[in-house]
Amino acid sequence: AAKGKGRTPLVLERTKGSEILFGMAPCGLALAGERRALHRLLVKEQRGGSGRPLRAELALRAAARGLPVLHVPGRLLDALCRGRPHQGVCLEAAPLPFRSLRDAEEPRLGGEESGRRQLLWLVLEHIQDPMNLGALLRSAYFLGVDRVVATESNSCPLTPIVSKASAGAMEVFDVYSTDDLQGFLKAKREEGWEVVGTASRPEEVEGVPVISCSEFQWDRPIIVVIG
């Protein structure tokens, strides 16, 4: 008899243009939000283990939204994620694009909401490694950054790897893009924003004033550029 005869092949008919989110946090936060089209939830067939209640909860939430839930062998999830840590759950979904700054609502610098504190935006230039991008989004979300803007032409897209590295923050945190970074920064300076970069050592920067973080006076809206 042929080896493996009768064994169900590890094949999943994907929706055209879909991608596979993986991990509890990305899948759970994508299910909680309504920022992308969702196709189906894939849950590892349970044979014991500490992850069972969390996977069952995700399955119930997906079913409540009318989303198909498939219980599949763990090796299928391994194949879909190319061996990445999926924690027994994957979510087939439409890609999540950057939001355009042209469609972004402008902050009211003198309004009640922003009057409590100064606004902080993070601009990411030329961040191409998905793990780095995910880590930056995770930190920005945790630290209360108001908006993240990435350069459109030379930045990593918002992939499932980025979502996993961000601990799912990408699923609930709008990330905008611009195709004219210099024009964007110039416009913000004219509006009264402070635009700053970072340096590990002052001697690495030429022709630009360098101020210690402990001496910096945050007295107006600020944009921090990293890249």
Higher pLDDT, 122 or 51: 122
Evaluate whether residue 9 is within a structural domain.
no
Evaluate whether residue 187 is within a structural domain.
yes
User: Domain range spanning residue 173?
Assistant: 99-104+115-225
Evaluate whether residue 14 is within a structural domain.
no
Strand order in the sheet with 89-93: 19-22, 89-93, 38-44, 69-72
* Per-residue confidence band for 136, with pLDDT thresholds at 50, 70 and 90: very high
Q: CA triplet 219, 222, 226: central angle to 5 degrees?
A: 140
- Looking at residue 215, the DSSP 8-state letter turns out to be T
What pLDDT score was predicted for residue 116? 58
Do 210 and 144 share a structural domain?
A: yes
Judge whether 107 and 185 are in contact, CB under 8 Å. no
With CA atoms as reference, report the closest residue to 227 among 125, 153, 122: 125
The 10s digit of each residue's pLDDT in 22-62 is: 999 999 999 998 899 999 999 998 765 555 788 888 999 99
CA distance 149 to 143: 16
Q: What is the CATH number of the domain that holds 66?
A: 3.30.1330.30
The 10s digit of each residue's pLDDT in 74-117 is: 899 999 998 899 999 999 999 999 998 877 767 665 544 445 57
Do 196 and 147 share a structural domain?
A: yes
Evaluate whether residue 217 is within a structural domain.
yes
For residue 97, which amino acid is it?
P
Location of structure tokens 């700054």:
101
Evaluate whether residue 163 is within a structural domain.
yes
Domain count, the chain: 2
Q: How crowded is residue 85: how many other Cβ atoms within 10 Å of its Cβ?
A: 11
Q: What is the CATH number of the domain that holds 142?
A: 3.40.1280.10
In the structure encoding, which two tokens stand for residue 46, read together? 């349970």
Evaluate whether residue 7 is within a structural domain.
no
Do 164 and 70 share a structural domain?
A: no
Do 85 and 119 share a structural domain?
A: no
User: End-to-end distance of the chain based on CA atoms, in angstroms?
Assistant: 58
Higher pLDDT, 10 or 83: 83
CA distance 214 to 150: 27
